[in-house]
Structure 1
């Protein structure tokens, strides 16, 4: 019985190592005219919300996970410009990108499985 449990435990450990060992980088980017000030909200790899008030653009953050996928969500609103864009890139591929040109610009990007 102990031998069976030991073998099963080792097999699970190896499978988790194979499928969970690759780091998957995801990049959130907010861009606009240089010097633009924006309030930014995003979701991290654990699904926790974060808020950054008064960020100077361009702004970006790299989130690295070993999970097979994650939900990507970022939004921003400018304080002093009318152009604003966002981009979510995962594994070198742009998953979502949006751009707006309006007063007090607001933009969001969302990816169900980055």
Structure 2
């Protein structure tokens, strides 16, 4: 009985060893000699923030860049705008502006399509626009 088990084990080891060399699975993986092509960004998305109001107005603006960081800027005349670009599938777009005027407005455009707009009236007007899925 022991001899039969030993012969069966030797036969199994021989068959498995032969199958491994037959399919080259015993050799380590070697990467291709040439590097892969560089990934080129597609579907670039342009997010444009606009502030509108009387031409002589001045004030401060706060908006989010494509990484979600707050950028602060000043304006001394209107209209004011800035465009940021990304290949990310979704961007949180937010802009807040306050000026020394009684009327102020903001807009967010994604690929030149209006997605958010708001106007404010009153002393030192403050306008706020938000798009959660730019």
- TM-score with structure 2 setting the length: 0.69
Q: Distance in 2 between matches of 1:86 and 1:2?
A: 56
1:7-58 C-alpha deviation (Å, 9 max, x unpaired): xxx6xx89x75xx512111100001011210210000001111111344211
Structure 2: unaligned runs, 5 residues or longer: 1-27
Query: Which consecutive aligned stretches of 4+ in structure 1 deviate over 6 angstroms post-superposition?
Result: none
Larger radius of gyration: 2
Instruction: Kindly indicate whether residue 54 of structure 2 is the aligned counterpart of residue 33 of structure 1.
Output: yes
Aligned length: 105
Q: Which residue of 2 aligns with 1:42?
A: 63
Q: Which residue of 1 aligns with 2:106?
A: 86
Instruction: Kindly indicate whether residue 130 of structure 2 is the aligned counterpart of residue 110 of structure 1.
Output: yes
Structure with the higher fraction of residues in strand conformation: 1
Q: Distance in 2 between matches of 1:84 and 1:97?
A: 11
Query: Bigger shift: 70-79 or 53-62?
Result: 53-62
The alignment yields a C-alpha RMSD, in angstroms, of 2.1
Instruction: Kindly indicate whether residue 45 of structure 2 is the aligned counterpart of residue 24 of structure 1.
Output: yes
- TM-score with structure 1 setting the length: 0.80
Q: Contact 1:27–1:63 at 8 Å: present in 2 too?
A: yes
Instruction: Kindly indicate whether residue 72 of structure 2 is the aligned counterpart of residue 51 of structure 1.
Output: yes
